[in-house]
Chain A
Amino acid sequence: GAVVSQHPSWVICKSGTSVKIECRSLDFQATTMFWYRQFPKQSLMLMATSNEGSKATYEQGVEKDKFLINHASLTLSTLTVTSAHPEDSSFYICSARDPAGAYEQYFGPGTRLTVT
């Protein structure tokens, strides 16, 4: 099946710094990728849809200036958490659809962000 990777798998940063998370589709080209965040014992919340070559579409309530998304190539999307605060600590997961497949999403393993 299609494989999506994320890097890093976990990161600890200090308040006020920025953190970049990468999401890669390893064996297919993804024109669209999705970014989610998940708090402990809660479900996934869609943050934004990342479109290759164009601006991301953010869900209501998600600050686009705080969560910068760049989808510069068909295999890479990045999420940058700018000026991170402790409340940004969460589990961030990306996913992508294989255009050659049906409608299933392939998820990365997630990135655990802790802001101290």
Chain B
Amino acid sequence: SQQGEEDPQALSIQEGENATMNCSYKTSINNLQWYRQNSGRGLVHLILIRSNEREKHSGRLRVTLDTSKKSSSLLITASRAADTASYFCVPGNQFYFGTGTSLTVIP
């Protein structure tokens, strides 16, 4: 089993700026998922990218996957205060979570 390692641990940006967070993992996967957790709430599934995909978009979200480097990135464009949350990546069909990236978007 493995969990993703998100980087940075914390990120603070101004509203309207882009936010980029990264994820690294150790073993081969067939997909990778990103989740968001607002404070004191359950998690929300954001996007799943398969191992044969290099990039995927969903609204203001852009996810990349580089299987050769065992890494993924999540880009949130034109950030909003409502994007303030913790973001987690989950490599493969796993159920283990890392410490996440805590994103604060300042209005």
Question: What residues make up the interface of A, taking CB atoms closer than 8 Å to B?
Answer: 1, 4, 6, 34, 36, 42-46, 49, 91, 93, 95, 102-110, 112
- Chain A hits for B95, CB < 8 A: 34, 46, 49, 95, 105
- Is B43 a contact of A43 with CB atoms below 8 Å? no
Q: Produce 1/0 per residue, B77-107, CB < 8 A to A.
A: 0000000000010100101111110000000
Q: Return the chain A residue nearest B46 by Cβ.
A: A104
Categorize the interface residue count of chain B: 10 to 19
Q: Is the CB of A110 within 8 A of B48?
A: no
Task: Assess the B42–A104 pair: CB atoms within 8 A.
Answer: no
Contact A43 B88 (CB under 8 A): yes
Known contacts A44-B97, A107-B42; is-contact A102 B31 (Cβ 8 Å): yes
Which of chain B's residues 24-62 have a Cβ closer than 8 Å to chain A? 31, 33, 35, 40-45, 48
Are A104 and B97 in contact, with the CB atoms below 8 A?
no
The A interface is mostly helix, strand or loop, or mixed, namely strand
Q: Which residue of chain A has its CB nearest to the CB of B44?
A: A107
A-B contact pairs, 23 of them (CB 8 A): A4-B42, A34-B95, A36-B97, A42-B99, A43-B88, A43-B97, A43-B98, A44-B43, A44-B88, A46-B96, A95-B42, A95-B43, A95-B95, A102-B31, A103-B31, A103-B33, A103-B48, A104-B48, A105-B33, A105-B95, A107-B35, A107-B42, A109-B41
Residues in B neighbouring A46, C-beta threshold 8 A? 95-97
Question: Closest residue to B45 on the A side, CB-wise?
Answer: A104
Tell whether, in the assembled complex, residue A93 and residue B33 are in contact, meaning their CB atoms are under 8 Å apart. no
